[in-house]
Amino acid sequence: MHEDFDRCVRAVRSKDARFDGWFFTAVRTTRIYCRPSCPGMPPKAENMAFFPSAAAAQQAGYRACKRCRPDASPGSPQWNERADLAARAMRLIADGVVDRAGVPGLAARLGYSVRQVERQLLAEFGAGPLALARAQRAQTARLLIETTALPMSEVAAAAGFGSIRTFNDTVREVFALPPTELRLRAGRQVSSPGVISLRLPFREPLCPDNLFGHLAATAVPGVEEWRDGAYRRTLRLPHGTGIVTLRPTADHIACQLALTDLRDLARAISRCRRLLDLDADPVAVDDLLAADPVLAPYVRKDPGRRVPRTVDGAEMAIRAVLGQQVSTAAARTHAARLVLDHGDPVHDPAGGLTHLFPTPTTLADLDPERLALPHARRDTLLALVHALTSGAIDLGVGADRDLARARLAALPGFGPWTVETIAMRALGDPDAFLPGDLGVRAAARALGLPFSPAGLTAHAAAWRPWRAYAVQYLWATGDHPVNHLPA
């Protein structure tokens, strides 16, 4: 979109927040870059330049606006919607792969050469993988500077900078302030030791009912809970563990993170955004779905429904198998037993969380006789665990969705419902569809739509590429707890 100059100018002049994250506006006279909805006076059109990413604007010598904080805007919805090389690379960079394994590690995860990855990202986002990772480190540094009392040397290490000098130079270059002054301006609003409080932005509207309702209704005891109007869960992260508390508000998601290692901050934020589908473009989704006269009343009633996703693809796949042909309550019970027997314990002084969900590697040694499951489902679970442990199936943020689908479908006991559930919630495919789901079929029947899987799939062709969101609206016609924000 950044190449459509006239459209970008119109978005900036109207201060349209829907375009935040789609592109960034740079002002040639001030050398500042902003989000489209910046509250400041719009510059003259001849002084505007547009970039596809904050990293591209920074690389061109522009610094972040202090009023609209463009580095903290929602990510482009294309990064999650698309399944091509560039989008997969952006998801992996957000998950910290470049910081942990460098550009060669990123290329290896994608199955391409370093040169191909760099060329593709430069063409698509105006910046290479190192510049994109650097922009993320700068944002992480700002969060730590403004929300903690950590010494700057520890902030630099936690944000992923190799030296305090590089940290100081980057903060000055991106924010036009030294780190100490950036902290003074923020007022050092530290909530409590060891806890980082921040706001997760999203594109409006957002309907929290099904999003938090689904997470709360399917919560695995010990790993997840709904407490005091917030969803809480444990996180397994590259350098340690974490506990996140997510609370919906009118214009943002209030997020509190307790991490054992602050180097995991950027990864934790990225996974929380993915869990809540916060980078979606609800206007584009709802405009298309509302064109169907059957869905239109439900879209108008509760616009902005999101797809509840996951913080860990392997965890979601295992839970999908445990949930085959049983109720939500039974699926929670099976998962809770697995967690109690094989999950790693955690300490949660603020609530009732007790464990991390077990990894496939841990579950590879489990005794199938201890599973209170039918024999066929035990075989399905063990086949999935083996495929995940061996690397035959990748369900991470940068996974190839088509390849993952094909390999899942080849496993014993994996039918369309299980494959598409994993595609929707673990792989983040916005077009995943569940025509055989009992709740979807019941909704279709009640609404006068075709309710056979084949008939509903044919009707749903008009909902592409947003069929996963159509599923949320279909589910919402029922009275299941997943549709309601808990008290």
* Catalytically annotated residues: 34, 437
Q: Please answer whether residues 145 and 182 qualify as being in contact, where contact means their C-beta atoms are separated by less than 8 angstroms.
A: yes
Residues in the chain: 487
Classified as helix, coil or strand, 221 is: strand
E strand or H helix at 208? helix 208-217
Q: What is the DSSP string of 369-391?
A: GGS-S-HHHHHHHHHHHHHHHHT
Cβ neighbors of 214 (< 8 A, separation 6 or more) are: 308, 482, 483
The Cα angle at residue 329 between residues 451 and 224, in degrees rounded to 5: 115
Cβ neighbors of 287 (< 8 A, separation 6 or more) are: none
Q: What are phi and psi of 142, to 5 degrees?
A: -60, -40
End-to-end CA, the chain: 41
DSSP state of 484: S
Alpha helices in 218-312 (DSSP H): 265-275, 282-289, 296-301
Nearest to 89 by CA among 429, 396, 388: 396
Residue 253 CA to residue 275 CA, distance in Å, equals 12
Residue 369 CA to residue 240 CA, distance in Å, equals 31
E strand or H helix at 138? helix 129-147
The Cα angle at residue 19 between residues 15 and 25, in degrees rounded to 5: 70
Residue 428 CA to residue 405 CA, distance in Å, equals 12
Q: What are phi and psi of 326, to 5 degrees?
A: -135, 170
Cβ neighbors of 25 (< 8 A, separation 6 or more) are: 8, 12, 33, 34, 35, 36, 38, 43, 48, 49, 50
Residue 63 CA to residue 31 CA, distance in Å, equals 6
Residue 442 CA to residue 440 CA, distance in Å, equals 5
E strand map for 201-328: 224-227, 230-237, 240-248, 253-259
Is the CA virtual torsion 74, 80, 85, 90 positive or negative? positive
> Scanning the structure block, which residue is given the tokens 């063409």?
123
